Structure 1
Amino acid sequence: MSARRRTESEIAWAVRLAQAKHGVEELRRAALAAEQEFSAEFQSTATSMRESAINLVHYLAVRRHDVRALQDELARLGLSSLGRMEAHVMASLQAVLRVLHTLLGEPVPVEVVEDPPITFDTGPALLAEHTNAILGTAPQGRQTRIMVTMPGEAADDPDLIRSLVEAGMGIMRINCAHDSPTTWERMVRHLRHAERDLDKRCLVSFDLAGPKLRTGPIAPGPAVVKLRPTRNPVGQVTEPARVRLVADGSQPDADDAIPVDAALLDNAQPGDTLAFVDARNRKRVLRVTEVRPGECLCETDRPAYVVPGTRLTLRREQSSIAQGEVGALTTVDQWIALQVGDTLEVVHGEAPGRDAIYDDDGRIAEPAFISCALDEVFSGVRIGEPILFDDGKIRGVICGVAEDRLRVDITGAAGERAKLRSEKGINLPESELALPALTVKDIEDLAFVANHADAVAMSFVQQPGDIDDLLHEIGKLNAVQLGIVLKIETKTAFTRLPDLLLSAMRHPPIAVMIARGDLGVEVGFERLSEVQEEILWLCEAAHVPVIWATQVLESLAKGGMPSRAEVSDAAMGSRAECVMLNKGPYILETLGFLAGVLERIEEHHYKKTARLRKLQVASRGNQRAPDA
């Protein structure tokens, strides 16, 4: 290369270095300016969290800029692209600036030479310290803790709790939306016994139920028992319909049991038949197959619809032995069928909802309606805002608002026609609801939680004032040791996450739970992966641990077999400090499976960083298994 060309190349290189230096200096100045902007918030932050709060604000200042072009240039210059700066923002900026000044042959400014309070070592160390404080120490072999939700039956199954602790459960989660303090107390007592027996520590976290935006009751359907034999594809009966007749007035332990006059049971024998006319005016016969005290078992090869008052005649050979009637039956659960283009009214109160009413010409005389008991829903929504039901299976837009009702145009439904049932979630992602995160029940439950828990999770947290309310109640209970978990489950909570973190930093230890079920509905499932990433970044910048929650390995926990997508999702959970499992009949197997996945993936990744351990597959001619 000629001297002239070399000089031109050196000049171009110096220009690129100077431009990159200018870009990084601009980010550093923005971070320092933000530190002044948030100085009042830092004063109320707990001393142990103050440097972490400053680092979070530095990160927010950097992320107000689009840094992608600068990152690409830094990478081309062979320098850090700032892609792993979350835990130590100022240290990352200054490290790059030091190298750029040196490459340019310039003296390094004193303010860049000196290490900031949060360094490459102290940042991750603070995150580890804060994680240990609220989630306990990591088990041997992996850094990611595992939280397990307790089923109600765990209160009477100490062996299950012991097995879960033995298999690696680090945090027991109890949902205050279910069961009662008496049940919760037994769960905690079993856990403490298991801890002593196994010489292992397992923390306890309670989820407060919070306000629940749910659909109200639906008018019950007819009281009827449907008898349906099983048929093969050509219509032949392969298994008869079976039913149990019990004495009228008794308490049947199954919904399909039919109460009848006791005289029928007293006289029945195997081989007898019971003749009747069903609700469709079809003649049907039940064959008695077994008789027990107070009940008899019957079967039929024909479908039948049995309603209260149906007359039964007990026959033996050609003779009538006894007669009686069917007693009261359980009503059938109903739903409201909705499709795109339908109108649904949401009515204030608890009136039983119903389907649309049609006139004689088939036109809708009255639209379908469902109730909702929360006042704030009707005062906080506006025309044009979206509304979602049942985890987003039914989507609509609010087209009318009155004091006691909303009118909704249905714009989306899972399948051609979706069923809306009672007690299904309602989401209003664009609405400002003046809904307190703490309910009367939550405050009552908190008195129990304060005496038995290591941490409490706050549902439906929306704004810093919600955290103020929780801290006020914790203060009244003198429960200063209680850790706080912020459940991020709404779009509003996500958009306000920096303010929520700064507010919660007044009362460490704290953690954040990504409640991905409701959050996915609120932000849209196409955005969920992006939002998860942003929450992980913000919390790492704040040195606050994250709990990866909702539907982790759900197919395995409930059915005994995971899906491929679920395994990948579980591996992604290693980006967080804790992964939460929900209850299911295969929860013990799921816990062991998840522990194995996390142990393996942590050898390859930490947060956003790939860890380049030796790969056997990279060796030429290697024939070893991929897990070796």
Structure 2
Amino acid sequence: MVHYLALRESDVRALQSRLSLYGLSSLGRSERHVRATLLTLRTVLRSLILGKTPRAIHPPISVKEGKTLLKRHTVALLGKKQRGSHVAVMVTLPSDAADNPVLIRNLIAAGMTCARINCAHDDEQTWLNMIKHIRAAAHELDTSCKICMDLAGPKLRTGAMKQGEQVLHLSPERDLYGRAVAPAVVYLSAPTPILPPDTLPVDAQWLAGLHEDDKITFVDTRGKHGMLKLERQLEKHLWRAKCYDSAYFATGVVLTVERTQASSPVLALPPREEKIILRVGDTLLLHKADIPGEPAEYNANGECIKAAHIACTLPQVFSHVKIGDPILFDDGAIEGVVRHASCEELAIEITHTTSEIGKLRSDKGINLPQTDLNLSGLTSKDLADLPFIAEHADLVSASFINTPHDVSLLLDELARLNALHLGLILKIETQKAFHHFPDILLTAMRHYPIGVMIARGDLALEVGWENLAHIQEELLRLGEAAHIPIIWATQVLETLAKKGRPSRAEISDVALAERAEGVMLNKGAHILDTIQMLERILESMQRYQDKKTSLLPALHTIIERDYSERD
């Protein structure tokens, strides 16, 4: 990598153009073997210019050795693939995977080579259940699956919102004429500590007297009469019902079985969390005080008499923010500029929303791309989680690695825990991390194996959308120069995973992912289909592309094969 950094000290674009005119290497694919490429070029040029017989060259890393090193380091970090493309597949496990060994087995069978457990969610017992299922499924399938535990890191997010009314609204799907074409679905359940969405808590004894196809009448909060029709019983104290008209339920609304006239009130509904409605030009107050956020208040003339406000999960950032700093919320859906800054509060003018109005809720990400927040990569929660990770995981992934010092702190902590056997993945997600990236890699090379994850979501917000393309390209090149595997992450085939169909842009994105050594997929209802689609695209691309090198199979065989595969 040091050779590559030396090469990039100068602008060699003009030289590249001249070399390519003579059919020589233009240095554009030399990352893994810079010295070998330069020595070969010098030998060829001496032969052409001086007519001398080429001499054998013996670089420290040959072209072949550079490729072998990267492959070896990838296998050490992410495991060896048994079939399919050469790109490792990392999948984020959902919380319910702890109680679903069949899902984990199917993920591994579909091609998952590394399971990611997000330490920002769940607890040690849940993680342990996931790990047991992974180990058992890998053993059953006679394969391997690495376990990566992702430290939560210092996440900057919005605080809690004030709790709103205890109301459940049912709304069927309607056509253009307002006619119901699909019913709203609602569940009737005995009270539970955590009530699932679209569920009405009712008396358990009343539930026991229900029959399939029973009709249940009610008068909702507006005084409107309505009816639920029972479909089927899902569990002992859980029924599924449907409603063909809009209805509003609150605690105390009475449900009556038409067949028996038995009644039960709707028991305590959970309060609905408020949201903040924001338009361009509005003011939002972001405060250090840990008090619930509230939407703005308006008088009868529509004039704002009290600005919306919400807390921030990292109070230490207030001492670093300056007037004029840009600020983004919810993955960039809402943008603003700091107009007033103090150690207790920021007054933010909203400058952009993705639609006419923006909706800001609790636990949404906050980005300050031009503010040096001086955040350390390890939090107290991370330090508390590391002993468990050291005992049970194969890899640890660290967020908010911004400087070589952050890497040193993490390596020192791993050494203290006698956990240097863990593979290490560094997530690059800030402008500061990109600026220090070469030094971060050189510091991380004290450890083995290591890898880098390009966290493109936060990175795009930090560096600007227009800069993400060339910055992710530089990260790929530097990783290759260091023979360190790169993991392509954030919203890869996200629409397919969540909705069952990919977007066209996502297909092109996966084609670019062939340049990396690993791809991370997020959880979703269609994750198995997503893994299979990912593998098909990557396998197909490998016939035409090897890193940055275009491969040229006979065109007629491509056309014939594509048509035969379609049939």
> 1:441 aligns to what?
381
Contact residue 271 and residue 287 of structure 1 kept, 8 A: no
Q: 1:625 aligns with which of 559, 562, 567?
A: 562
Match of 1:371 in 2: 311
CA distance in 1, matches of 2:494, 2:37: 39
Match of 1:170 in 2: 113
Among residues 51, 65, 87, which one is paired with 1:144 in the alignment? 87
1:336–1:368 contact (8 Å) kept in structure 2: yes
- 1:214 paired residue number: 157
Listed as ranges, the matches of 1:239-318 within 5 Å are 253-258=195-200, 276=219, 279=221, 282-287=222-227, 303-308=246-251
Choose from 357, 362, 384 the match for 2:297.
357
**Structure 1 residue 79: Cα displacement:** 1.7
**Secondary structure at 2:396 match in 1:** strand
Relative to structure 2, which stretch is displaced further, 589-598 or 510-519? 589-598
The structure number with the bigger radius of gyration is: 1
Residues 603-624 of structure 1 deviation map (CA, whole Å, 9 limit, x = unaligned): 2212111123344358xxx755
Moved more, 578-587 or 190-199: 190-199
The answer to whether the 8 A contact 1:245-1:257 is kept is: yes
Which residue in the other structure is 1:58 paired with?
Answer: 3
Relative to the length of structure 1, the TM-score reads 0.81
The alpha-carbon distance between structure 1 residues 560 and 104, as it changes in their structure 2 partners (threshold 3 A), is: same
Which of 423, 426, 438 aligns to 1:498? It is 438
Quote the offset at 1:495 in angstroms. 1.9
Q: How does 1:72-83 map to 2 (within 5 A)?
A: 72-83=17-28
Q: Is the 8 A contact 2:454 2:488 kept in 1?
A: yes
Determine the structure 2 residue equivalent to 1:33.
none
Aligned to 2:353: 413
Q: Which amino acid aligns with 2:113?
A: G
Q: Report the alpha carbon displacement of residue 209 of structure 1 after superposing the two structures with TM.
A: 0.9
For 1:465, the equivalent position in structure 2 comes to 405
Aligned to 1:201: 144
Residue identity in the other structure for 1:88 = H
1:46-94 alpha-carbon deviations (Å, 9 max, x no partner) = xxxxxxxxxx222222223221111111111222111111111122222
Equivalent residue for 1:192? 135
Partner of 2:166: 223
With normalisation by structure 2, the TM-score equals: 0.89
**Structure with greater helix share of residues:** 1
Pair 75,275 (structure 1): closer, same or farther in 2 beyond 3 Å: closer
The 1:260–1:551 alpha-carbon spacing in structure 2 relative to 1, beyond 3 Å, is closer
Counterparts of 1:266 and 1:161 in 2: how far apart (Å)? 35
Kept in 2: contact 1:219–1:353 (CA 8 A): yes
Q: Please, which of 474, 483, 488 is the counterpart of residue 428 of structure 2? A: 488
Q: Contact between 1:395 and 1:411, CA under 8 Å: does it hold in 2?
A: yes
CA contact (8 A) 2:112 2:531 kept: yes
Q: Using the alignment, how far apart are the partners of 1:271 and 1:595 within structure 2?
A: 48
- Please tell me the residue identity of whatever aligns with 1:428: L
1:397 pairs with one of 337, 341, 362: 337
- Give the whole-Å Cα distance in 1 for the aligned partners of 2:155 and 2:357: 25
Distance 1:478 1:314, change over 3 A: closer
Q: Does 1:119 align with 2:56?
A: no
Are 2:37 and 1:100 equivalent residues in the alignment?
no
- How big is the shift at 1:141? 4.6
Amino acid at match of 1:179: D
- Closer, same or farther: CA 315–117 of 1 in aligned 2, 3 Å: closer
Q: Output one character per residue of 1:433-454: Cα deviation in whole Å (capped at 9) or x when no partner.
A: 1212111111121111111222
1:467 shift after superposition: 1.0
Alignment match of 2:73 (pick from 127, 130, 151): 130
One-letter amino acid of the counterpart of residue 89, structure 1: V
Query: What SS is found at the alignment partner of 1:429?
Result: coil
For the 8 Å contact 1:288–1:297, the answer to whether it is kept is no
**CA deviation vs aligned residue, 1:250-280 (integer Å, no higher than 9, x gap):** 768544444578999899999988564x54x
8 Å contact 2:257–2:263 — kept in the other structure? no
What's the CA shift string for 1:137-173, capped at 9, x where partnerless? 3434532111122222222222332233233222122
Q: Aligned residue for 1:235?
A: 178
Q: Spell out, residue by residue over 1:365-385, the C-alpha distance to the aligned partner (whole angstroms, 9 max, x if none).
A: 221111103122101222222
Query: What CA distance in whole angstroms lies between the structure 2 residues aligned with 1:296 and 1:124?
Result: 59
Residue identity opposite 1:103 in structure 2: L
Alignment-mate amino acid for residue 319 of structure 2: S
* 8 Å CA contact retained: 1:139, 1:145: no
Q: Provide the residue aligned with 2:102 in structure 1.
A: 159
Cα gap change, 1:245 to 1:474, in 2 (>3 Å): closer
Which deviates more from structure 2 when the two are superposed, residues 87-96 or residues 413-422? Answer: 87-96
Amino acid at match of 2:89: I
Gaps of 5+ in 1: 1-55
How well do the aligned residues superpose, as a CA RMSD in angstroms?
3.4
Closer, same or farther: CA 120–356 of 1 in aligned 2, 3 Å: same
Unpaired segments ≥5 residues, structure 2: none
